[in-house]
Each structure stands twice: as C-alpha cells, then as structure tokens.
Amino acid sequence: MRIRYIKRSRGDFALDIIITLLMLGLIIVTFYPIWYVICASFSSSTAISTNPGKLLWPKNFGLGAYKKALEHPLIISGFRNILIVLAVALPLNIIMTLLCGYFMAAKNVFWKKYIIGYLMFTMFFGGGLIPTYLNQKSLGLYNNLWALIIPGALSIYNAIICKTAIEAVPESLTESAYMDGAGDFTVLFKIITPLIKPTLAVLLLYYGVGHWNSWFNASLYITKNELLPIQNILRAVLIANSNLLNEGAANKDTMDTYAETIKYAAIVISTVPVLCIYPFLQKYFVKGVMIGAVKG
Amino acid sequence: MSKIIAKDFKRNKVKYLMILPVIIYIAIFSYKPMYGIIIAFKNYRPALGMAGSKWVGFEHFVRFFNDYYFWRILRNTASISALSIIFGFPAPVILALLINEIKNRYFKKTVQTISYMPYFISIVIISGLIKTFTQSDGLITDMAAALGGERKNLLASKNWFYPIYIISGIWQSVGWDSIIYLAALAGIDQEQYEAARVDGAGRIRQMLYITLPGLLPTITILFILRMGGILNVGFEKILLLYSSTTYEVADVISTYVYRIGVLDANFSYSTAIGLFNSLVNIVFLLTTNAVSKKINNSGLF
C-alpha cells in the first residue's frame, strides 16, 4: 500500500542527487587503492617508484612481475603454508563450531547454562598476550604450522551464529529423526548440517578470511622464513622494507628490476581469491552479523 | 537432585560427549592462559616455571604506575580510542542512512558490495598501501601539499598519525559495520513512513524522526560493546604503522606490552600491564551497560 501519488518535491530531487554523488565518491575512494594495486602489478618498477600511489592505468605494461612472483621460493612457500593451514583448519573449525552450536541449541540439558557461561566468559576476558604466548610455547606450538591451526580452532562468536541457525531448523524434523532412532551425531551431521548450509558458508568465509589475513600469530610463533604464511612475507617486504625476496633469488639483477612491482603482484594474487568469493555470500552476511552483535 | 543429574546425564550423554572437545579446547587455550596471569604477581623465571617463581605481590603494578611511559601510553590509548569512537562510530550509521535512501536497486547493491570490499583486505596490505600513499611523494601527501600542507613523509609525523589511523580505519570498516544497521532498518514499520508522508514530512525529516529512532536500540547495543573494548585499540595496525619517531603519539598499552613482553622477554611486567588493560575494559563495559540500563532500559546483560 505505497502512496505514490504524492509529488516529489524539488527538495527530494536535490537529496537524490546529493546522495548519488556521495555514493559515487565513496565507490571511487574505496575502489581506487585496489585499482592502483592492480595497475602497479602490471607496471614497471620505475613507473611505480616515480608515481607512488598515482596510477590510473598500467605504465610500461608487462607480466614479468607475476612470472617472478610465482617463481619465487618464499612466495611459493608462503602460499603453500597458508593453503596447508586452511586445508587443516577449516574442517576443524566447522566441526568444532557445529558441535558447540548444537550443544548450545539443545533443549532440556541440565548443565547447559553453566557450560555456556564457561564458554562465553572467554569472550570478555582472556589471559592476555604474554600468558597466551607462554602457554602456546609450552605446548610445543612453536615453529610449526600447528601453531597457526590449533589456537584458532573455534570462535565462540561464530558458534553463537551457528547455534541461532540450528535453532531455526524446524523441530518437527529433528524430533521425527529422534523417533526413528537417530542419535545426536546423525541428527547434527545428516539432518541439521545440510539445512544450515548458507550459515556454514558464511562461517567458512569468516574463518577462512581470518586465517588468510592473519599475520600476528605467525610473527610470534614462527621464526623460520620457509614456514611463514604469505601475509608475513608481504609484511616483510611492504612494511619492514626487508629485501627478503631478493635473498632467495637466483639472479639478483633481474630481481632488482622487479623489486617494486613483484610486491604488487603478490598482493593481487593474495587478495583476488577473497574478493571474488565474498560477493556471492553477501546476502547471508546480515544474518551472521545481526545475531553476533545482539547476543554479543 | 542427584536423581535429576543422573537422569539428565543418561539422556544427554551424547550431547555432553559432543561438547567435551570444546570444553577441553577452551580449558587449554583460554583458561590456562588466564591461570598464567599469576605471573603478574610473581617474578617469573622460565627455568623455575610459573608455580615455582617467587611471589612479589603488586610490585609490577606499582612499577607500572611509576613507569616513565605510563602516562604516555595511557594518554595515547585513550586518545586513539576516543577519536575512533567519535569519528568511527557514527560513520556506519550515516552510511546506512544514505544507502537506505538510494532508490535504484542495482546501484544500492553495487554501493554495498564495494563498501564491504576493504574489510576483506588484510591489514598488512592496507598498512603497506598507507605507507606508499603517504610517503613524501605519495598521493595523499600530494593532496595535503595542495591544501597547503608540508611535503614530508606523513607517517613519520606526529600530527598526521591520528588522522591517518582513524581515516584508514573508517575506510576499511564503514561498509561492513553498516550491515547491521541496514538489517535493523529493514525491521522498521513501513506504516510510520506513510503516516509521516501524509503529515507532509520530507525525507530528511523522516530520516531524523523515524529511521534514526528506529536504529537506536541497535546503536545502544553496539555502543556498549564498543565501550567494553575502549582500551583495545587496533593494535595490529599500530604495530605495522608506528615507528620510533611516532612512539610519542602512537605507542599504546598493547604495543608497549608487546615490546616489553615479546621483544624484551620481560614476561611478568608485561603481563601485569596487560591485566590492568583488561580490568579497565571490564569496568568500562559494566559502567556503560549500567548507564544504558538506567537511561533507556536496555542493556547487554
């Protein structure tokens, strides 16, 4: 029952124009730095050094940087390491989150509220940097990829999102399964899991992006270059200006010509996968964010 | 009572079995480090272990309050946090209000998709780009120079650190943070708008008198959560962006803990500082929650 016959005033028209312009501005400001990185990755090192942050189009176009980046031992090992972490961590994340969410959503469980309290307390208070660091070292999670996998195995916040999705599954479905003699594991993995696939996809994205973009833990727990994930390699060359990438190179002269542009090629390779996935899950974001914030 | 427990255990034993790995995991990775906080009250020597090290009471806390850098890191943490809240908190609300006013469905969707993008880019890459854009001949430095600023490496300048930090933070998260407000907007009763239109209210008025009040509960909850993290500034980004030339304005409690604890291996002292930080956060969280309950009868707990 929309009322459409009220004439649009001149003020409304002006408002539309202002909003459109503001939004176009937002798009440009948001997208330009990303566009710059793409242009820089196809440009020559000199073009980048003389135009820092200022490229609208690739200058002295070439694909050399990508070739060099994909040949570089530390970039290769960086990608390999993070892919290993993802391959092991993501299934672990999803299983732990499902188990936790299923328990949180369960009804008539005597110890539930105490256990939830025990779990949620950790969202507001923790040991802090140093006790956590000492704990991890004492467990032997140091200088191996487990150090990046195990400590991030479960996020209680994500478990709450999962719990809410499980609660939305019609009770009649789970009830009839119980009647047929199905146990909790069957109900969770055979009945509930297929029904909450959209939520699980978003959780996979959250966990995946979290692992993919994290660097701090690796900087604490990994000291061997060949075990560092790609973000830490990028950090070394982008932030610390280290010549890490040149050290491992066979031919130093060709490395120097690509020194600048290879960074951007590595950024593009490391960012594009994520940027290609998230738009497809966009419509599910609302749910996840909403629940998380309201139930905090 | 024991009968109930026994019956409950019999009925739900598989469920308890399912949560067991989670309980153990949380015990090892969350509660064990909490136990580790005791080293804040000890002189921790790795060779003696946590239990074997000598108790020193509040010595490390007293030392912290008398630390030459105590006021500096407290001031910086409070400043960065306050500035982030003042400028960063309203930004997604405003963006959501604006997106809500876009008529064209496809344009709306495009704006949303692009505005989420920076959230998925790693902080390392964003910091690297900030460094490039603010070097002495970078794009942002050019703009600042055109507006009459000095041409120099902005990131090494004490005056520029906060604006760079805050603005880049908004750039990265404004789109993502607006999602929740957009979701809340969908729940506002459409009839209110119709009534307002009949009464002759323009769109700006509708925005101010219907949309904004409709968002208020969401704004309150997020504000409480934000206040709870008041001393948790974006520590990773500071670590990536600051340098000894900007410590004066950029060094915060968590970066100080990192330097003292991880780099200098001064474990007990840095744990004490970290504990102080957590306690202040909890006090803020509880205070904001209590105030919010008084004022508009809605809080987190």
- Please list every residue in chain B whose beta carbon sits closer than 8 Å to the beta carbon of residue A106: 12, 15
- Say yes or no: B172 and B242 in one domain: yes
Query: pLDDT tens digits for B33-58?
Result: 999 999 999 999 988 988 889 999 99
CB-based contact B141:A53 (threshold 8 Å): no
**Is residue A222 over pLDDT 80?**
yes
Check residue A248 and give its pLDDT.
Answer: 52
Q: How far apart are CA B294 and CA B286, in angstroms?
A: 12
- The beta-carbon contacts of A188-192 under 8 Å, at least 24 apart in sequence, are A188/A98, A188/A99, A188/A102, A188/B18, A189/A98, A192/A98, A192/A102, A192/A166
C-alpha distance from residue A110 to each of A104, A106, A159, B17 (Å):
12, 10, 20, 14
**Does A274 lie at the interface with B, CB-CB under 8 angstroms?**
yes
Q: How far apart are CA A72 and CA A95, in angstroms?
A: 35
Q: E strands along chain B, which residues? A: 42-43, 54-55
Query: pLDDT tens digits for A161-220?
Result: 899 889 989 999 999 999 999 999 999 999 999 999 988 998 999 999 999 999 999 999
**Range with the lowest mean pLDDT among A105-109, A180-184, A242-246, B104-108?**
A242-246
- Say yes or no: B163 and B232 in one domain: yes
**Is residue B298 over pLDDT 80?**
no
- Say yes or no: B16 and B76 in one domain: no
**Does B151 lie at the interface with A, CB-CB under 8 angstroms?**
no
Mean pLDDT of chain B: 90
Contact A16 B103 (CB under 8 A): yes
- Say yes or no: B158 and B201 in one domain: yes
- Say yes or no: B155 and B38 in one domain: no
Q: What domain range is B89 assigned to?
A: 68-296
- Say yes or no: B154 and B271 in one domain: yes
Q: Tell me the one-letter amino acid at A55.
A: L
Check residue A47 and give its pLDDT.
Answer: 82
Query: pLDDT tens digits for A102-151?
Result: 999 999 999 999 999 999 999 888 899 999 999 999 999 999 999 999 99
DSSP count for chain A of H helices, then E strands: 16, 0
Check residue B301 and give its pLDDT.
Answer: 65
Boundary (domain end) residue, out of B10, B25, B55: B55
Domain count across chain B = 2
Confidence of residue A247 (pLDDT cuts 50, 70, 90): low
- Say yes or no: B92 and B23 in one domain: no
- Please list every residue in chain B whose beta carbon sits closer than 8 Å to the beta carbon of residue A5: none
- Please list every residue in chain A whose beta carbon sits closer than 8 Å to the beta carbon of residue B133: 33, 52-53
Residue A145, min C-alpha distance to chain B (Å): 17
**Does A109 lie at the interface with B, CB-CB under 8 angstroms?**
yes
Q: How far apart are CA A168 and CA A157, in angstroms?
A: 17
CB-based contact A288:A155 (threshold 8 Å): no
- Say yes or no: B115 and B218 in one domain: yes
Confidence of residue B202 (pLDDT cuts 50, 70, 90): confident
The answer to whether position B206 is within a domain reads yes
- C-alpha A206: how far from chain center: 5
Residue B182 sits in a domain whose CATH number is 1.10.3720.10
Residue B182, min C-alpha distance to chain A (Å): 8
**Domains of chain A, with CATH numbers?**
10-62 (no CATH), 66-295 (1.10.3720.10)
**Does A5 lie at the interface with B, CB-CB under 8 angstroms?**
no
Query: pLDDT tens digits for A30-56?
Result: 999 999 999 999 988 888 888 888 888
Interface test mutation site (partner A, options B22, B136, B253, B269, max chain A beta carbons within 10 A): B22
Contact A238 B131 (CB under 8 A): yes
Check residue A198 and give its pLDDT.
Answer: 87
DSSP count for chain B of H helices, then E strands: 17, 2
Residue matched to tokens 């000890």: B42
- Say yes or no: B189 and B273 in one domain: yes
Of A96, A263, A279, the CB nearest to B113: A279
Residue matched to tokens 């070292």: A137
CB-based contact B132:A52 (threshold 8 Å): yes
